[in-house]
Amino acid sequence: MEPIRLNKFISDSGYCSRREADKMIEQGRVTVNGKRPEVGAKVTAKDKVRVDGNQLEVDAVEPVYLLLNKPPGIETTTDTSQRDNIISFTNYPERIFPVGRLDKDSEGLIILTNNGDIVNKILRAGNKHEKEYVVTVDKPINQDFVERMSNGVSILGVNTKKCFVAQEGPTKFRIILTQGMNRQIRRMCEALGYEVQTLQRTRIMHLSLSKIPLGQWRNMTNAEVEELMRLIEHSTKTEEGSKGKKPASEPLAPAKSKKPKQHSSAPAGKQNRTGSSPRSGKSATAGKRDKPKSGGSARGSRGAAKGAAPSGKGRGASGKGGAAKGGRRR
């Protein structure tokens, strides 16, 4: 467990909110290893934290970082009462949530994690983290379309930021965004008189769809997680990252990042019929998704176990040294 703020440690134990924890720290009701800490102090699972003399315990959990190739028809929502939600579809045995959204009709790469600290760092437009898409529209495009899309289009009362756009075929183009406005690409195309037929996200920063079959997921490799943490190290989590930034004078050039290594020991399309279960070997239940987790280092593989998840259908793409195996697509 990486060091976390003391108020978060207390909150994660279920004792009280972070704000109430800060008040108790100021009042001298909290001790760490027998000493009174300052507000803002950090602790780990090894520290003995007591409130009014009672020791608190927080599970030393490892973070989860998954890459899912979302198919069309799946809603990017954590509301499991909603039909075709991404949580039930992924069928992961522990509590996770998506980073950002993909429209129900869209497909492609999406990150799922239990580390809430990275979400806004990835999504804030001011942090300029790239997301790449391949799009087809209902009629032929031309250079005028490419230039207008790349220079910004007026949608939702604002002009979109300049971006990289390249034509890939008569009705197909590639676009790289650092924004994440609601249905941005579809609205941009509509503003120019086009209708999106297919939309696939192929890349988020250095992370690629490569070798992840549609409807399957895999764990990020340790190298991918380390690079992700390096890229967001100086990113802000607040609105400040989206304010006071002037649009670039030229469209963005496509990233030249190295293709992420895939640690696959089996053909990408090979699937089995088992569900994923925690590495501890305990059977997974629906209730495990309600268990919060904190961020830290990359998590390793979870072995397959029959009947591990309620539906019995895991969806992990096979992977070597940390990629979970999953099962049959719906």
Distance of alpha carbon 32 from alpha carbon 50, whole angstroms: 7
Torsion 242-255-297-93 (CA) sign = positive
CB atoms within 10 A of CB 237: 17
For residue 155, the cross-strand partners are 158
Kindly state the tokens that stand for 98: 């998506």
Distance of alpha carbon 162 from alpha carbon 152, whole angstroms: 5
Positions marked active-site: 103
Kindly state the tokens that stand for 168: 């890939």
CB atoms within 10 A of CB 221: 21
Distance of alpha carbon 88 from alpha carbon 286, whole angstroms: 9
Phi, psi for residue 21 in degrees, rounded to 5? -65, -40
Kindly state the tokens that stand for 212: 């992840």
For residue 121, the cross-strand partners are none
DSSP 290-304: G------SPP----E
**What's the maximum distance between 2 C-alpha atoms anywhere in the chain?**
71
Kindly state the tokens that stand for 125: 């437009």
Ramachandran sector of residue 91 (left: φ over 0; alpha: ψ -120 to 50; beta: rest)? left
Q: If you ran DSSP here, which 8-state letter would residue 185 be given?
A: H
